[in-house]
Structure 1
Amino acid sequence: MNNNLVERAQHSIHHVHDLIHRVFTDADGAGAEAIAPLMAVFAEHFSMVTTSAAVIGRAQVEQLFSGAVGARKGLEILISDLQTVWHEGSTVALRYKESHRLNQIETSRISVAILRVQHHDVQWLYLHETPISQEQPA
């Protein structure tokens, strides 16, 4: 397995969630500015399955983020249990746990992301999120 390729894919998981955090919290006043670099990582035909089982495409994801700037002030996002589940050529599938904590309520999901790593570019092709816990006190 090409460790550099996998490391770059893993870094992208963290980088994307840092950008998502900036959008949702707008803590530094740059939430809206984070949307362009965030959307740049999603491939043109990106799609995802949300925690509510909706299948959405890239345009819907952009609309979601555009409407969410500063909507979750105080949000904490934690990425853990990051594992490679499949790798072939320049494509990597990663599984990870994503936890959101806000107002002493925590929700978590297991996600699988399929990413293509080429040269200096990591593109997200697909994401599937599965909720693993209901709202619980943090």
Structure 2
Amino acid sequence: KKRILTLFRVIDWLLHLPPELVPQFQRELSIIEEKKMPYITSIERLGLEKGIEQGMEQGLQQGMQQGMQQGMQQGEATVLNRQLQRKFGEGFTDVHRQRVQEADTEILLDWSEQVLYAQSIDEVFYSSKSPRTEH
């Protein structure tokens, strides 16, 4: 088997397959592989199909959930950025914008509430739930 693979590599290196023949080559190769593949019972095939279907469904659900969470975070960040800009003007710097972009939804909601009562921009970012960092 090792020698055959080496021979294929040499042939592939010597004879470059034109792009228009690649699909035909792949079809022919699939036919050969199918003939050498062991028989799969109908029960095994059904199990395999069901497993693939479940995997795709689970992946889709996870993707949708991540997308929704990311969308919520971005929406909260946009609202908070506008609130901070309106209330603190030039005191709202790029450093603050970066912190807003990196924060999770829970922190953003906390900061959005703090904006209502804060006398300074530092009071917003140093609320009880927010991570303490130097700036």
Q: Does the TM-score normalized on the shorter chain lie above 0.5?
A: no
The TM-score with structure 2 as length reference comes to: 0.30
Q: Which structure would you say has the larger RCO, counting Cα contacts within 8 Å and 6 or more residues apart?
A: 1
Which structure's CA Rg is the greater one? Answer: 2
Structure with greater proportional strand content: 1
The TM-score with structure 1 as length reference comes to: 0.29
